[in-house]
Amino acid sequence: MFMVYRLSYNVLRSLFKKRDGPEIIADILKAVGESSRGKRKTNIMQSANLSYDQVNKYLDLLLRNGYVILDDGCVYKPTGRGLRFLENLQAEYLKMRSKL
């Protein structure tokens, strides 16, 4: 007899594909938005499961586009624009997922 296990979407996703840019950006914005005090680069790397090169690349992109700010030279915080972008990404993702 076979046993069927229910796997979470995140587990299935990790088995079948790598994350693309918007998913990585969403993970970074979620990580930064978790704390009202912001997060340091190392904490973002751990929360979003990124390498040093990846986190530098995406944080630079987010800074240049006004989605995060660098406070006190070492703490990253989301901006209102960044939080709205994350909400829109999540809403669009839910729309796509419901159509599958």
β-partners of residue 71 are: 75
The pTM (predicted TM-score) of the whole model is: 0.77
Q: Is residue 13 part of a domain?
A: no
Domain interval for residue 37: 18-99
**Exposure of 83 by Cβ count < 10 A (0-12 exposed, 13-18 middle, 19+ buried)?**
middle
pLDDT at 98: 78
pLDDT at 97: 76
Q: What is the CATH number of the domain that holds 93?
A: 1.10.10.10
pLDDT at 36: 87
**What beta strand segments (E) does the chain contain?**
39-40, 68-71, 75-78
Side-chain-side CA neighbours of 80 within 13 Å: the count stands at: 0
Looking at the structure of the chain, the number of domains it has is: 1
Tokens of 94: 């839910």
Q: Cβ(58)–Cβ(25) under 8 Å?
A: yes
Q: Is residue 65 part of a domain?
A: yes
Q: Is residue 4 part of a domain?
A: no
Q: Is residue 74 part of a domain?
A: yes
pLDDT at 43: 96
**Exposure of 30 by Cβ count < 10 A (0-12 exposed, 13-18 middle, 19+ buried)?**
middle
pLDDT per residue rounded down to tens, the chain (100 residues) = 555 556 565 665 556 667 888 889 999 999 999 988 999 999 999 999 999 999 999 999 999 999 999 998 899 999 999 999 999 988 888 888 777 6
Q: Is residue 11 part of a domain?
A: no
pLDDT at 57: 97
pLDDT at 59: 97
